[in-house]
Structure 1
Amino acid sequence: MQAPTLQTARLTLRPMRETDFPSYAALMAGPRSIYMGGPFDTGAAWGLFCHDVACWALFGHGALMLERHDTGETVGQVGLNAGPLFPETELGWMVYDGHARQGFATEGAAALRDWAWDALPLDSLVSYTHPDNAASQAVARRLGAVEDGDAPRQDAEDIVFRHWRAA
């Protein structure tokens, strides 16, 4: 499946481009990536970047970049992740330095989640959060997800939030 382009009030969620990699790699090499198992060197970041692109061909879903309507600036990424690294399909988000706490993660993740409900035969999604990542946990709660203590985890210490498809 080809990655869609989605629109929200402030963002265009668009397919990833090779030119997105430098900003992606910078986040993955920095201290905020500790919540995702980082920091990652360039090779590992490239592998994760390629995974996000390949998910579209392999699973019919993957990652989209968050681009602001007003400036054209790419401010982060949202994604649906699957494969051997993920026990269930994950709804994830990351916002680049300087763009946190502006609602971009919540806005983008809500749009991708809603696309998933329309396009995929899933009853739920999960979001894995590091116990120290209060900001990411707040995004999950704003999206209406609830903690699921029984869910399988990527890492034993993860807090898992479950997003249920609306009835």
Structure 2
Amino acid sequence: MVQIPSLTTARLTLRPMIYDDWEPYSAMMLSDRARHMGGPFTKPAAWGIFCADHAQWDLFGCGALMIEDRETGDLLGQVGINSGPLFPEQELGWLVFAGAEGRGYAYEAASALRDWARRERRLSTLVSYVSPENKRSRSLAERLGAVLDDQAERQDPTDLVFRHVL
């Protein structure tokens, strides 16, 4: 079994998922906030994604971490490196819960996990699949230093693919 990392930044703890994360996660996945990720999802579909996010650690050595505020312990969202048969390449992805947007949490979390992937997994590249309508995620990918890669394979032909060179 793979040791799932816990990472810390100036403001955040990125930690393994626990069952108590399910309710806030499912509330987001069942809401319109999930529209840029193929949602809103049904509760069974959201459960499957939640479980897959965790299972990827044992199967592929990467997966999702929950984002917590170090000071308050508030759950803010999730960041992950997605892998497996549904992803043509390893993907750096993120989501933040309602009320946590616009504060730099996704940037801080994604930067930390990207750096972990380079340092610990020795990855040389990651991609981020972004819905063209998701202006915030497009801006975040660019802020992280990723560039559009029109040649990259994608599971959804409408997605933009941003390449992170590590």
Alignment TM class, shorter chain as reference: over 0.9
Kindly state the Cα deviation for residue 154 of structure 1 after the two structures are TM-superposed.
1.7
Q: Partner letter of residue 36 of structure 1?
A: M
Kindly state the Cα deviation for residue 98 of structure 1 after the two structures are TM-superposed.
0.7
**What RMSD, in angstroms, separates the aligned Cα atoms of the two structures?**
0.7
User: Secondary structure at 2:58's aligned position in 1?
Assistant: helix
Question: Does 2:39 correspond to 1:44?
Answer: no
Q: CA–CA distance in 1 between the matches of 2:153 and 2:141? A: 17
Q: Which residue of 1 aligns with 2:114?
A: 113
Q: Partner letter of residue 150 of structure 1?
A: Q
Map 1:20-99; keep pairs closer than 5 Å. Answer: 20-99=21-100
Kindly state the Cα deviation for residue 32 of structure 1 after the two structures are TM-superposed.
1.3
Number of residue pairs aligned between Structure 1 and Structure 2: 165
Q: CA–CA distance in 2 between the matches of 1:158 and 1:139? A: 15
Q: CA–CA distance in 1 between the matches of 2:66 and 2:19? A: 12
Kindly state the Cα deviation for residue 120 of structure 1 after the two structures are TM-superposed.
1.3
Kindly state the Cα deviation for residue 96 of structure 1 after the two structures are TM-superposed.
0.2
Kindly state the Cα deviation for residue 70 of structure 1 after the two structures are TM-superposed.
1.5
Q: Deviations over 1:50-89 (max 9, x none)?
A: 0110010001111000000121001000000011110000
Normalising by structure 2, what TM-score? 0.98
Identity %: 56
Q: CA–CA distance in 1 between the matches of 2:38 and 2:106? A: 19
Kindly state the Cα deviation for residue 162 of structure 1 after the two structures are TM-superposed.
0.2
Q: CA–CA distance in 2 between the matches of 1:97 and 1:86? A: 26
Q: Which runs of 5+ in 2 are unaligned?
A: none
Question: Does 2:95 correspond to 1:127?
Answer: no
Q: CA–CA distance in 2 between the matches of 1:154 and 1:94? A: 19
Q: Partner letter of residue 47 of structure 1?
A: G
Q: CA–CA distance in 2 between the matches of 1:48 and 1:65? A: 14
Kindly state the Cα deviation for residue 121 of structure 1 after the two structures are TM-superposed.
3.5
Q: CA–CA distance in 1 between the matches of 2:145 and 2:3? A: 28
Normalising by structure 1, what TM-score? 0.97
Q: Which runs of 5+ in 1 are unaligned?
A: none
Q: Partner letter of residue 92 of structure 1?
A: G
Q: Partner letter of residue 14 of structure 2?
A: L
Runs of 4+ in 1 over 6 A off after TM superposition: none
Q: Which residue of 2 aligns with 1:7?
A: 8
Kindly state the Cα deviation for residue 41 of structure 1 after the two structures are TM-superposed.
1.0
Q: Which residue of 1 aligns with 2:145?
A: 144
